[in-house]
Structure formats: C-alpha cells, structure tokens
Amino acid sequence: QKEVEQNSGPLSVPEGAIASLNCTYSDRVSQSFFWYRQYSGKSPELIMSIYSNGDKEDGRFTAQLNKASQYVSLLIRDSQPSDSATYLCAVDLSGGYNKLIFGAGTRLAVHP
C-alpha cells in the first residue's frame, strides 16, 4: 500500500462546478497536510495547508481533514479552465520532521 494515495484521474468537471479531489494516507501520527497545484511542465506550487480536523477555506478552495479516517480532500468551487492542472497531496509522515511524502497526483480538467 502506498503511503499517500490519490486517484490519478483525469477528473473532468464543467466550468462553474465544484471539483472534489481526494487523498488517503497511511500513518495516523501525521500532523501536516498540504495541497499543491502543478501545471504541465512547471513546478508544484502550494495552494493549501491544513493541520486540524475539519474544514479550512481560502477563497475558492476548501481543504477538509479527517484524521480518524486518514483522509484529506480539496474542494474547488466555481471551477475555471485555469484550474486545469495536476493536484498533489503531500503529507508529513516523519512525525513532524518536515519531510513530505507526495501522492502521484490527480489530473483535473475543467471544460468550458
């Protein structure tokens, strides 16, 4: 079993819809969780971080964390074609030593 798992996609949503991206992880002691966006041929860029159970909102993005279920998700409201990218889930599985393990990413395609 991989330590951080994501559905590879592609996840295709119409413009204006909500895109829901999911991630599961293997270690119950994980404390820090991140979502990165990566456009084709570019480097990953941080879009959200979450540390506590529940929801965290930032503009059109909402991260959701459920530590009991070892599950973290990212919701993108009012999806735009410019949101089309690969979204990487990253988890600190090193017990707080700031060493991130990345999922393989979910490719999101937002069509007009």
Write out the residues near another protein by the rule CB under 8 A: 4, 8, 31-32, 34, 36, 42-46, 49, 51, 88, 90, 92, 96-105
Nearer to another protein, 1 or 112 (CB): 1
Min dist CB 48 to another protein, Å, is 9
Cβ contacts of 46 within 8 Å, gap of 6 or more: 34, 35, 36
CA distance 25 to 33: 10
Nearer to another protein, 44 or 83 (CB): 44
Residue in the block written with tokens 């059109």:
60
Measuring CA to CA, which residue among 4, 8, 10, 12 is closest to residue 71? Answer: 4
Measuring CA to CA, which residue among 81, 106, 105 is closest to residue 15? Answer: 81
- 81 three-class SS: helix
Min dist CB 19 to another protein, Å, is 19
Nearer to another protein, 18 or 52 (CB): 52
Min dist CB 50 to another protein, Å, is 10
Which residues make beta-bridge pairs with 68? none
Nearer to another protein, 36 or 64 (CB): 36
